[in-house]
């Protein structure tokens, strides 16, 4: 079994069918808060920061499209591409996130490419080797395990993004707060 080919095929298939659903995203929709007390992006000084809390509140706050897209682009793709195939400089707590839908989609595309190119460069031995200290308690797990986990994260949050787009369209962008 060629696990590398199977996992990359799964990732590519999902991306090719999911990414076109984001075309036409507007800034209004990007920042839409359908319920009260959403986590989103907020203007901070000259940039944008994500609402975030650790430990995460229980129950976790509802998150906007802006939050979810930047979670996928930043926390799923960019963090891992930086840690495993780049210089390791990405930090979740001091990143300037995209303040518009167009910039977010460009950022998403860029970070997806960095992650996809990184994992695509791994040979069979690379997929089996441990991911190392960048993954904390999971340092001894194989790259295959990390990629399967991140595929799951991407698919899960990607489905949420599509659902929010459908809800925005069906509700005419009105809030339910």
Domains of the chain: 3-171 (1.20.120)
- Count other C-beta atoms under 10 Å from residue 124's C-beta: 10
Backbone CA torsion sign across 11, 6, 128, 120: negative
Preceding omega of 8 cis (within 30 degrees of 0): no
Q: Global pTM?
A: 0.95
Question: Can you tell me the distance from the alpha carbon of 170 to that of 158, in angstroms, rounded to the nearest whole number?
Answer: 18
Contact at 8 Å (CB) between 85 and 114? yes
Contact at 8 Å (CB) between 7 and 154? no
State mean pLDDT over 87-113: 93
* Model confidence pLDDT, tens digit, residues 23-42: 999 999 999 999 999 999 99
pLDDT above 70 coverage of the chain, percent: 100
Is the pLDDT assigned to residue 54 strictly greater than 90? no
Contact at 8 Å (CB) between 47 and 96? yes
Residue 50, SS3 per DSSP: strand
Name the token pair of 136.
């904390």
State mean pLDDT over 114-124: 96
């Amino acid at each position: 079994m060629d696990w590398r080919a199977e996992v990359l095929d799964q990732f590519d298939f999902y991306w090719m069918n999911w990414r076109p659903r984001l075309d036409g995203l507007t800034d209004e929709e990007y920042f839409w808060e359908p319920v009260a007390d959403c986590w989103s992006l907020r203007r901070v000084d000259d940039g944008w920061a994500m609402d975030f809390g650790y430990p995460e509140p229980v129950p976790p706050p509802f998150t906007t499209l802006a939050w979810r897209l930047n979670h996928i682009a930043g926390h799923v793709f960019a963090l891992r591409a930086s840690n495993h195939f780049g210089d390791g400089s990405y930090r979740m707590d001091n990143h300037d996130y995209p303040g518009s839908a167009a910039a977010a989609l460009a950022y998403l595309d860029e970070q997806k490419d960095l992650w996809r190119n990184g994992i695509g460069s791994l040979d069979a031995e690379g997929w089996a080797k441990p991911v190392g200290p960048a993954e904390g308690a999971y340092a001894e797990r194989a790259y295959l395990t990390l990629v399967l986990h991140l595929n799951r994260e991407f698919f899960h949050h990607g489905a949420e993004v599509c659902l929010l787009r459908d809800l925005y369209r069906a509700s005419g962008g009105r809030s339910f707060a």
